[in-house]
Amino acid sequence: MTDKIEEQNSQANTTSLPDDTEKKHPDPKNKPSSSDKKISTAASPQRTSSLLPFLAILLSIIVSISALGVSGWLFYQTQLQQQSGISLANLTNQQTQFNQELSTQQDIIRQIQPTLLQLQSRIDGQITSQLNELDSLNQNTTRFDFDIQVLKEKLKRLENTTKEDWKLAEAEYLIRLANQRLLMEKDVIGAKNMLLNADDILEQLDDPLLFDVRRTLAQDIQQLVTAPSFDLEGIYLQLETLRNQIKALPQKGHQRRAAQQPTIEEQQIKAEAQPEKGLVDELLSTLKSLVIINYHDRPIKPLLPPVEYQQLVSNMQLQLNIAQLALLKQEDHIYQSALHHITTLTMDYFDTNVDVVQHFLVTTAELKQRQIAPQLPLPRASLLAIKDAAEVWHNTPASNVLESTKEETK
């Protein structure tokens, strides 16, 4: 089919070429005649009739090509839509999988978050503790450096110390010990003796720097001489003696004759000394044993049972222990309250007509009148004065001190 079309096109072209050449190059000599014109007009419809199938074929080819293009384009679009649908489904599936993984990861993060917070808090606590330890170590190092520096200074002083330095330090120690003795034990006599010994040591040094110290010491010694004496140990021992006497106190309602009846040894001594009086006393004792006089005008208080009596004794001993502790701590109110309680219990449960109970009450009353917290003068002025003198003494060069000692020996 295509070969026939090509042949027709070639014939048409060959037939049309002379016409074209004739049209382009007209020859005046060869002018067509009227008969030739008639032949040409008869040939033109034949040419047009030969071109129609060619045009129809060409148009059908164009239509088929365009139909093929349109069908190809539609097929391409359908394939593209199918591929896009598949890719979209894959994307949605991937998105759902991603969302599921994201949710699982979030759940894992939520589960791990408390442990992470605990770990973070623990780490923060360890960091803070380590920082605190570091600070404490730095403080200790600075303190150690300071202590080392102080020890170095002390070693330098010890290298330059003399016998007079040791005597001055001994005098300062005695004054400080006297101050502590007055504060803790209220020992006026011991503190006064210590101050006198410190004054003797300063007198042996014979240095004009210590003149103010000796004057202050003399004032403190005079104040201790005029101060009231206070025997702390004696009061403590008296309370201890009362504590031991409680079990020997007779109760109210006991047989007084048994307490007042002489012992067998006393009766033998009296009988050997005065035999007549011994017989009379023996006769009277037998008569008294036969006759018992009861005073019904007074209420008779029965004896305590053994358990209650033991509780009474323990309570009184505890009150005396409280009085001893109050004496040591100088708590006058507690001291007076404990002794008042002892006096009340003694008068309520023990026979006050017996000498032992009366002596117990008298001793308790004397102890109540004692002032256990007296205002005693303290040698603080002497202590401050000797400290200042020691600083001046140590700040002076050692050579001057040695020269002064040599001059004194000369």
Q: Which pLDDT tens digit goes with each residue over 46-99? A: 555 667 777 878 888 888 888 888 888 888 888 777 777 777 788 888 888 888
Cβ atoms of residues 319 and 338 within 8 Å: yes
Q: Which pLDDT tens digit goes with each residue over 367-383? A: 988 878 777 788 888 88
Residues of the chain with pLDDT under 50: 1-6, 8-43, 255-261, 398-410
The torsion angle over the Cα atoms of residues 26, 30, 31 and 36, rounded to 10 degrees, is -110
Burial degree of 306 (CB within 10 A; 0-12, 13-18, 19+):
exposed
Q: Which pLDDT tens digit goes with each residue over 206-231? A: 888 888 889 999 998 888 888 777 77
Cβ atoms of residues 353 and 255 within 8 Å: no
